[in-house]
Structure formats: C-alpha cells, structure tokens
Amino acid sequence: MQLLDGKKLSKKIELEITKEVKELKDTCGCTPGLAVVLVGQDPASAAYVNMKKKACDRVGFYSITHDMPETISQEAIEKTIEMMNDNPNVDGILIQLPLPSQIDTTKILELVAPEKDVDGFHPYNVGRLTTGLDGFVPCTPLGVMKLLKEYDIDVKGKNCVVVGASNIVGKPMAALLLNADATVEICHIFTDDLKKHTLAADIVLVGVGVINLIKEDMLKDDVIIIDIGINRAENGKLVGDVDFANVSQKCSYITPVPGGVGPMTIAMLLKNTLKAAKINAKERQL
Ligand code: GUN
C-alpha cells in the first residue's frame, strides 16, 4: 500500500505558485486577490476560511474576508458580492458554504461573476465542466485529479465509484473522471446495497461525512481509495469516511485523513485564484 501524500504535493504546488506570483508582480505589478464571504459562527467554516487566508499569505496573494453575522439579509450579501465583482483588486470570490437558512444560496452563487468564481460553483462553470470546456473547476475534485496524476494513476477505462452526490464534491468529481475517460458510477444516500457497487470498483472516491462507511469487506484487492470525508471522531481526532486501519491492508493506494485531499483543496483554490488573476492581468493589458 502506498499513501497518496496530499500534504507533500500541496507544498510543491504552493512553491510553484509563489514563484509565479513574483513573476506576475514583476511583469505587471499585479497581486492576485481573493475575497471571502463568511457568514455566521460555524467553527468548521471559520477554521476552513482561516486556513485559506493563511495559504494566501504564504504564496503572496492579497486576501480579504467579509465576516457577516448569522442574521444577515440576502440583500446585504448580494451588495457585497456586487462590490467584489466590480473591484479590480479582487480576482477570486469565495462564498463559504453552508449559508444560513434565510439565505437563497443558489441566487448568491449565481451572482458571483463567472470569471471570478474560483470555487467553480456558478452554473456557467458547472456547464463548462460537464461539457468538457475550460473554466473554473471545484477545488476538492480538482485536487483529487492532480493527486492521482502525481502518482501516475490513469483513470482511463477504470471503474470509478463516487460515493456522495453533492454539488461541491460528488457531481464535479464524477464529471472530471468522465472527462478523463473513466467509467463512472455515483452512489448516494438512496443507493440500494452500496457494497455491491464498491466491490466492482477499481477506484472508490468517498465524501459523505460518515465515519467508517467504507470497510474492507466492501472492496476488492488492490483497490485505490480516495477519502474526501472529514469527520471529528469521539477522541477528537480528524478522520475520513474510510476505515483506514483495515482498508489500508487491502488497497494499493489510499489518501490519509488528514494530509490527503484536504491540503489539495486549498492548493487548488490558490491555483484557481492565480488563473483568474492571470486572465484579468491579460485583459487589463489589452
Ligand atoms: N464548504 C465546504 N466545502 C467548501 C468549499 O470547497 N468551498 C466553499 N466555498 N464552501 C465549502
């Protein structure tokens, strides 16, 4: 069994980005900028946003966080997004999800300018992904593809079972795998007999937030496991959706939690923001 080391790869990517940021500053005086909207007090969301901000600092990006109270109105968030859309110093906009129940999340995500949509959640970018066109791709599935590539794992023709059908992870993950010529199945909460599906898989990619959902008896020998879950165990430790101790005896490759997909998500947010900044810099020069 070999670990797919996302921590190591994300550091390598950050170094490359840092170099490119310096070049961009030297050639056009531009500093890539990321604006984040954080609503409410959810500790997990606050921790994620803090990690994203720290990563921006490490590579030399400008970043700003709009901290908003849980009781904020739809109009106030929309006004902030319009301001960020119009601000030339902001290359990327990220709305940390979930938003409170009084907020229409779809409307908010549709208001983000598609060329600043570094999370890839705008229907324009979702459409481009599903049609195989260039655009902004959601960071977690994009990070998984980069990690597979780093370890020379080609998904072409492989049976890939994605467990979880969210807009953030499962659906874009399936689209990326399909675009890379994999055979893709999506399983979800209503799937009958999950084991029947996972047993046939060459690669299992799971992100549903259920501790120990994937056990060794659900898998064939030498399977490749991508664990996208992040859960807090009773002992306070971070764990994924896979029974790591037992599954790691059976698989050929596996991502650890923490240190697998998580750091790759942040590295891809940086990559997407740099991509947006480069496009903006080019447009300003025209
Ligand atoms: N909430 C959980 N994951 C994500 C993510 O990747 N991006 C945003 N914006 N919110 C999230």
Amino acid, res. 84: M
At 70 the pLDDT is: 98
Query: Which residue of 49, 50, 96 sits with most ligand 1 atoms within 8 Å of its CB, as the best mutation to test the pocket?
Result: 96
Q: Is 176 helix (H, G, I), strand (E, B) or coil?
A: helix
**Tokens at residue 88, please?**
């030339």
Give the nearest ligand 1 atom to 138 CA: 6
CB 64 within 8 A of CB 36: yes
Q: Given a cut of 80, is residue 156 above it in pLDDT?
A: yes
Same domain assignment for residues 193 and 241: yes
Q: Is 130 helix (H, G, I), strand (E, B) or coil?
A: helix
Q: How far apart are the first and last CA of the chain?
A: 51
At 73 the pLDDT is: 98
Helices (H), 87-169: 105-111, 123-130, 139-150
119 is catalytic: yes
Of 62, 83, 115, the position where a domain reaches its end is: 115
Per-residue confidence at 117, pLDDT binned at 50, 70, 90? Answer: very high
- 221 domain-assigned: yes
Residues 39-62: what's their mean pLDDT? 97
Per-residue confidence at 191, pLDDT binned at 50, 70, 90? Answer: very high
Nearest CA to ligand 1 atom 4: 97
Same domain assignment for residues 178 and 93: no
Q: How much is the pTM?
A: 0.98
Give the nearest ligand 1 atom to 98 CA: 1
- 127 domain-assigned: no
How many CA atoms, within 13 angstroms, populate the side-chain half-sphere of residue 267?
25
The CA angle 94-147-220, to the nearest 5 degrees, is: 120
Burial 143-176 (b: 16+ CB within 10 A, else e): bbbbbbebeebebeebbbbbbbbbebbbbbbbbb
At 286 the pLDDT is: 67
Q: Given a cut of 90, is residue 284 above it in pLDDT?
A: no
Residues 182-207: what's their mean pLDDT? 98
- 177 domain-assigned: yes
- What percent of the chain lies above the pLDDT cut of 90? 98
Same domain assignment for residues 147 and 238: yes
| Residue entry with tokens 């690669």 | 203
Selected catalytic residue, list 96, 171, 202, 275: 96
Ligand 1 midpoint to CA 97 (Å): 5
Selected catalytic residue, list 5, 119, 202, 243: 119
Query: In Å, how far from its chain's centre is CA 179?
Result: 17
Which residues form the domain of 210? 139-261
**Tokens at residue 188, please?**
């979800």
At 225 the pLDDT is: 99
Q: What is the mean pLDDT of the chain?
A: 97
At 285 the pLDDT is: 78
Ligand 1 site, CB within 6 A? 94-97, 119, 139-140, 168, 265
Nearest CA to ligand 1 atom 1: 97
Nearest CA to ligand 1 atom 11: 97
Number of domains making up the chain = 2
Backbone angles phi, psi at 180, to 5 degrees: -95, 20
Per-residue confidence at 128, pLDDT binned at 50, 70, 90? Answer: very high
At 283 the pLDDT is: 86
Residues 189-194: what's their mean pLDDT? 98
52 is catalytic: yes
CATH number at residue 110: 3.40.50.10860
Of 80, 115, 150, the position where a domain reaches its end is: 115
CATH number at residue 200: 3.40.50.720
